[in-house]
Amino acid sequence: MKTLEFVNGDRMPVLGLGTWNAAAGDVYQAVKEAIRCGYRHIDCALIYGNEPEIGQALTEAFTEGLAHREQMWITSKLWNSYHAPADVQSALNQTLADLQLDYLDLYLMHWPVAIRQGRLMPESAQDIIPPNALPVSATWQAMESLVDNGSCKHIGVSNFSVVKLKALLDSARLTPEMNQIELHPYLQHPGMLDFCNRHGIHLTAYAPLGSPDRPARLRAPDDSVLLEDPVITAIADRLAAAPAQILISWAIRRGWAVIPKSVTPHRIKQNFDACEIELSDQDILEIDKLNRNRRYFAGGLWTIDGSPYTTASLWDD
């Protein structure tokens, strides 16, 4: 398994199991199956609502000898309603309790948006806190203290634009070591890739398969299905592989971590086996040409009527 190396020498497996939208009852079995297959990287978040079930699976896997804690890389994320500096440690403590862990390997600020404490989702624009009232820099300072006290080994962000990363770097004591973003052949972020390469920030691709099971509210009538793209399927046919394997292999070849989600045993194994697929330079060039700047997760929750955010200001487009 290829890895991404952090400044202190820690290594994160490039392939992880995503757990967003994994239903109760399914995610427990998916995590156990993934560890049996060889996965050593699990991506979680408080807002997914399934960390207690993941914690049960991890604890049983450790007890049964499927893996040791030190072999696993566990990522989770700080939800928007815990951005107040006084709430950051308690949010991580809850995640650690749910996951039945003593520390996280990586903790990410899930969005560069704060909402009112006690809300999981905004019920109105009044629940969204203007960025000048609770700046990302204040939340980040509290996250830095999590590394200081050993609650987590590394910290990073998610859904940050280049503009927001630059602003954070101006005030941060600890450089964010990861930006987890939507990243796939239809949304390739060339400017982001260049910026992160220059500043030593790793990237994790979420929705690497085009999120085929995303909710209907996130679909457009004219959406193309990434897994059915003719370029992807032609390469898959030539290599006797599944289209999902081609997309995973492409992301790994480009130097990113990738966290496809599945709760189906044969697909979990199939995704893991994608690490063995070798794409040619020509394959990479053909896939690189597919960029459409198509974002499936535009952050509409944060741009409701009356919000201090618009789509343009959220992504700095």
Q: Which of 28, 39, 48, 82 is catalytic?
A: 48
Q: Which two tokens stand for residue 140?
A: 């980040």
Closest CA to 210 of 242, 241, 248, 239: 248
Query: Is 48 in the active site?
Result: yes
From first to last of its 317 residues, what are the pLDDT tens digits of the chain?
A: 999 999 999 999 999 999 998 887 899 999 999 999 999 999 999 999 999 999 999 999 999 999 999 999 999 999 999 999 999 999 999 999 999 999 999 999 999 999 999 999 999 999 999 999 999 999 999 999 999 999 999 999 999 999 999 999 999 999 999 999 999 999 999 999 999 999 999 999 999 999 887 777 778 777 889 999 999 999 999 999 999 999 999 999 999 999 999 999 999 999 999 999 999 999 999 999 999 999 999 999 999 999 999 999 999 98
Cα–Cα distances in Å, from 217 out to 18, 53, 79, 251? 21, 27, 21, 26
> Going by C-beta distance under 8 Å and a sequence separation of 6 or more, which residues neighbour residue 209?
184, 226, 227, 244, 247, 248, 260
Closest CA to 96 of 150, 145, 139, 15: 150
Closest CA to 204 of 188, 186, 180: 180
Residue 25's identity, in one-letter code, is G
User: What is the per-residue pLDDT for 24?
Assistant: 78
Burial class (CB in 10 A: 0-12, 13-18, 19+), 150: exposed
Q: What is the DSSP letter of 174?
A: S
Residue 206's identity, in one-letter code, is Y
Closest CA to 297 of 223, 222, 218, 208: 218
Let me know: does 229 contact 290? Beta carbons within 8 Å: yes
Cα–Cα distances in Å, from 244 out to 138, 232, 268, 273, 280? 39, 9, 11, 11, 17
Closest CA to 104 of 63, 151, 137: 151
User: What is the per-residue pLDDT for 28?
Assistant: 96
User: What is the per-residue pLDDT for 222?
Assistant: 76
CA dihedral 86→88→89→90, nearest 10 degrees, is 80
User: What is the per-residue pLDDT for 212?
Assistant: 80
User: What is the per-residue pLDDT for 21?
Assistant: 87
Q: Which two tokens stand for residue 15?
A: 């392939």
Distance CA 152, CA 150 (A): 5
